[in-house]
């Protein structure tokens, strides 16, 4: 069997037109846009401590001990040391809690999204309840995955922080430069592997879980079988999906420039931006399903005619 990459895109665009434009339904757009927005929540963050000039000077010269001292002094100038420590710990705990809640919401929303795209409807509450056990299973896997990733990344980051201190040469010394090169290679390798694992989970394992109505580990086992048969194609589809995402970003950029930046303002608005970019999100998700359907037709999306008719089909029921 020949595995194609362009044909799934054509099929995905055909299904996107059927779901969103045949006919156009504003209510459907807003409901599906809300689900897409839930999936993409949780990407904000920042820190004001990095603006401290003394801290930046220590980092630039490779003086990591001085950098940590400067960081402590920055907080100490604002609050008594005990209160500053409690505040920092409280903010970290709050940030972790908010991140977990958003991750849980996004995990459940992924299966609501799959129900909408495979049934051709835009129901939210009913699918949130019926698919909740799948979302909870995927959420637990995500927590373990990110924790494992943190365990892998932390030693690499600590190694990078110790390079300057151990060599005593500053950030420009030969040994330090070699250390940073090695650190960069390690970071790239970890990022590529983690990126592919996350891509496989969100694009294919979730579909297997949804179609078979099984937990995340059973989904990974079936995916492992498919991957073992065609590992090269799964690597290539990851690259193809990245190219499609970049093309979608370029399209948004073009629209933003054509509208004198009004488009940029609109897509930056929470929720509204997801509604406006809905065709891109839908097409990208249908691409996953259409490509996977080549390997196992039972995992593919429904025919466009069923989406146009708005028929509610029990796609998430396990096959007999």
How far apart are alpha carbons 215 and 200 in whole angstroms?
Answer: 15
How far apart are alpha carbons 12 and 241 in whole angstroms?
Answer: 13
Count of alpha carbons within 13 angstroms of residue 169, beta-carbon side: 12
Residue corresponding to tokens 């996350």? 198
pLDDT at res. 23:
86
pLDDT at res. 45:
38
Q: Which residues of 3-13 are buried (b: 16+ CB within 10 A; e: fewer)?
A: eebeebbebbb
State how far the alpha carbon of 142 is from the alpha carbons of 99, 104, 271, in Å.
12, 9, 24
Q: Where are the domains of the chain?
A: 6-309
pLDDT at res. 220:
97
Q: Enumerate residue ranges in the chain where pLDDT < 70.
A: 42-82, 84, 157, 159-180, 308-320
pLDDT at res. 83:
72
pLDDT at res. 162:
60
pLDDT at res. 318:
41
pLDDT at res. 69:
60
pLDDT digits (tens, 9 = 90+) for 44-98: 433 344 445 554 554 455 554 555 565 556 555 555 556 767 888 888 889 889 9
pLDDT at res. 46:
38
- The answer to whether residues 2 and 265 touch, using CB atoms and an 8 Å cutoff, is no
pLDDT at res. 56:
52
């Amino acid at each position: 069997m020949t595995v194609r990459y362009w044909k799934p895109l054509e099929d995905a665009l055909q299904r996107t037109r059927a779901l969103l434009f045949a006919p156009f339904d504003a209510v459907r757009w807003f409901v599906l846009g809300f689900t897409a927005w839930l999936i993409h929540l949780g990407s904000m963050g920042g820190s004001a401590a990095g603006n401290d000039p003394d801290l930046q000077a220590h980092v630039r010269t490779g003086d990591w001990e001085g950098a940590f001292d400067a960081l402590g002094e920055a907080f100490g100038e604002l609050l008594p040391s005990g209160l500053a420590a409690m505040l920092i710990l409280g903010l970290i705990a709050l940030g972790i809690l908010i991140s977990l809640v958003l991750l849980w919401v996004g995990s459940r929303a992924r299966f609501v999204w799959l129900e909408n795209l495979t049934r051709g409807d835009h129901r939210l509450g009913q699918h949130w309840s019926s698919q909740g056990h799948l979302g909870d299973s995927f959420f637990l896997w995500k927590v373990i995955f990110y924790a494992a990733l943190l365990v892998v990344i932390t030693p690499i980051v600590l190694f990078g922080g110790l390079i300057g201190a151990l060599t005593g040469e500053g950030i420009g010394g030969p040994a330090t430069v070699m250390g940073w090169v090695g650190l960069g290679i390690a970071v790239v390798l970890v990022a590529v592997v983690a990126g592919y694992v996350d891509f496989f989970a969100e694009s294919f394992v979730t579909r297997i879980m949804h179609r078979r109505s099984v937990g995340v580990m059973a989904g990974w086992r079936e995916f492992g079988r498919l991957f073992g048969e065609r590992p090269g194609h799964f690597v290539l589809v990851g690259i193809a999906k990245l190219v499609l995402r970049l093309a979608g970003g370029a399209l948004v950029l073009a629209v933003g420039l054509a509208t004198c930046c009004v488009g940029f303002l609109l897509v930056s608005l929470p929720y509204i931006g997801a509604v406006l970019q809905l065709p891109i999100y839908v097409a990208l998700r249908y691409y996953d399903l259409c490509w996977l359907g080549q390997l196992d037709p039972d995992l593919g999306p429904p025919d466009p005619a069923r989406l146009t008719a708005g028929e509610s089909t029990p796609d998430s029921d396990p096959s007999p």
